[in-house]
Amino acid sequence: MDKSPDAFRTISEVAEDLDLPQHVLRFWETRFTQIKPMKRGGGRRYYRPHDVELIKGIRHMLYDQGYTIKGVQKLLRDNGNQFLMAVGNGDLAAAEALAQRKQAEAPEPV
């Protein structure tokens, strides 16, 4: 039986779906404060759907686009979680629109 799209995922399910080792997911939690899985008794992690989407975006930028961790952290700071979630889903038009909106909102340098 498959889980519904809005069901929580265990670390092993996320690792398998994204072809990542579990230790990488745990490491990314320390580097990207935006990834916040719910933890149950015994420390078992449950990832929300938006956590998985964000991890997809982070994985894409690190592995496919060649960004460094600091580079992805800057992208998150500058453009927000929604930007990387759109990139992770392959919705580049939405990602571009989000980036342009953030740039338009930014104050002009003096």
- 62-90 pLDDT per residue, tens: 999 999 999 999 989 988 888 888 888 77
Q: Which pLDDT band, with edges at 50, 70 and 90, does 1 fall under?
A: very low
Q: What span, in angstroms and rounded, lies between the C-alpha atoms of 9 and 32?
A: 18
For the domain made up of 9-105, the CATH class stated in words is mainly alpha
- 18-66 pLDDT per residue, tens: 999 999 999 999 999 999 999 888 889 999 999 999 999 999 999 999 9
Pairing of strands 38-39, 9-10: unpaired
pLDDT of residue 84: 84
pLDDT of residue 62: 94
Query: Letter for the amino acid at 82?
Result: Q
| Alpha-carbon distances, residue 67 vs 26, 55, 61, 71, 83 (angstroms) | 19, 14, 6, 6, 15
DSSP-based three-state secondary structure for 8: coil
Q: Which pLDDT band, with edges at 50, 70 and 90, does 110 fall under?
A: low
CB–CB of 36/26 below 8 Å?
A: no
Q: What span, in angstroms and rounded, lies between the C-alpha atoms of 22 and 16?
A: 9
CB–CB of 87/57 below 8 Å?
A: yes
pLDDT of residue 96: 73
pLDDT of residue 57: 92
